[in-house]
Amino acid sequence: MRNSRTYPFTGKPSSFSLFNYSLKTISSEYKRSSIFTNRYTFTSLYMHAIEISSTFYLKFGEPSKDIHFPFFQYGLYSIGHPILTEILDPDYIALVMGIRKNVELEDNPFFYWIYETVDFDSVRIQTESSLRTITQFLSCLWFVKDNSCSCNTVIAFCSDERFSERDIELRYKNSAGEFSDTFFSLAELNEALEYYNYLDNLFLINQPFKPPNGLIENSSIEAISSLNSHNRIQRAYQLLGNARNSIIVSDKIANYIIILECLFSTKGGSEISHTISQNTANYIGINKSDKKEIYRLIKRVYNIRSKYVHGQQLDKKDRLPETQIQLSQKLDEIIRKIFRKILKYDIETFIDDNKLDYLFEDLLFSDPPKLTEKISDIY
């Protein structure tokens, strides 16, 4: 659920300035900070806005390196980057964002973007879009490896003395249900961008945010309508968000199984646990023993999920936290391989039920796939 705030700047310290020029004077005579001299060109005809979004539990493999993405308009800046104090007065950031959010901004890598726009309404729309875009990119880090990286706020400071803030109640946890720092190299961040691109094509996530038919933002009607129109890949990805957002490992396991049902169910299939386990093993298994191991794992976890959601007592061993965490981690890794393979090679098949039924039938009677160079990157 997203919340939004749009306020005029009030009670600002006398020393505060935006872009190092007076908020009361928007003219070509303002003094630009040196950080903008060679990278940006502003005109006095437009509103200027700075967007900032702090991340959580994301650490750089190269901590001193800032990243400017090739097709992603946001820069990702390292902890303590001087751009914050060069562009915005830190005391005023604390006043507007609150002490807690200001500390989060200082102690974590953050996304940053500066742009020109025509009016404040455009900033509000852009801030909503930015929150979705940044959240989507951070979610794509999961395709690289298990993590709990997320963000929950984007704030835009505007040159007309207002700001726009967008919040989302989202905090990903890793497959053990924990928050933990995860290090990503530059190569891994670029790999996540590849999956961002796949999802961009699948969801058109960069389209401007427009509430349908005048409905309020994020209404339940809008959410239901959107989910009902999604194909099975899109629905499975939404369910993945539910699993990653849960801190209870048993709930994660239940959501993981629903994801497998969403992706590997067939028309008129019987003995659902057998069908899902078999199709999953045949799709992702690389040899006979690997398929057997995956099949047995899914069958076992399916039984645990069934007892859990129907209020039945779990077996003594399956009630142990360490057992459930281990099973959750194994499922998380299997589902990651599945999504990597689908998004890279099989989107068209998984959005067509007839093609998908044929694929499962073909896999049932075919030899295990060879790990060719083409698909080895998903394993």
pLDDT in tens, 247-291: 999 999 999 999 999 999 987 666 899 999 999 999 999 999 999
What does the DSSP 8-state code read for residue 124? H
pLDDT of residue 331: 98
Q: Is the pLDDT of residue 310 over 70?
A: yes
Q: Pick the closest to residue 283 from 198, 191, 357 (CA basis).
A: 357
The mean pLDDT value of the chain amounts to 77
For range 148-173, the mean pLDDT: 86
The domain ranges of the chain are 2-224, 240-378
Per-residue confidence band for 299, with pLDDT thresholds at 50, 70 and 90: very high
pLDDT of residue 117: 85
Please, which residues have CB within 8 angstroms of residue 85's CB and are 6 or more apart in sequence?
Answer: none
Q: Is the pLDDT of residue 329 over 50?
A: yes
Q: Is the pLDDT of residue 97 over 80?
A: no
Q: Which of 2-16, 67-81, 218-232 has the highest mean pLDDT?
A: 67-81
Say which amino acid occupies 214. Answer: G
pLDDT of residue 133: 87
pTM above 0.85, yes or no: no
Q: Pick the closest to residue 210 from 132, 99, 309, 115 (CA basis).
A: 132
b/e sequence 82-94, b meaning 16+ C-beta within 10 Å = ebbeebbbeebbb
Q: Pick the closest to residue 123 from 33, 21, 205, 7 (CA basis).
A: 7
pLDDT of residue 99: 61
pLDDT of residue 146: 98
Q: 3-state DSSP: the chain helix, strand, coil percent, rounded to 5?
A: 50, 15, 35
Residue with the larger pLDDT of the pair 64 and 271: 271
Q: Is the pLDDT of residue 105 over 50?
A: yes
Residue found by looking up tokens 């057992």 in the block: 323
Residue with the larger pLDDT of the pair 129 and 69: 129
Residue with the larger pLDDT of the pair 246 and 71: 246
* 60 vs 78: CA distance, rounded Å: 8
Residue with the larger pLDDT of the pair 201 and 1: 201
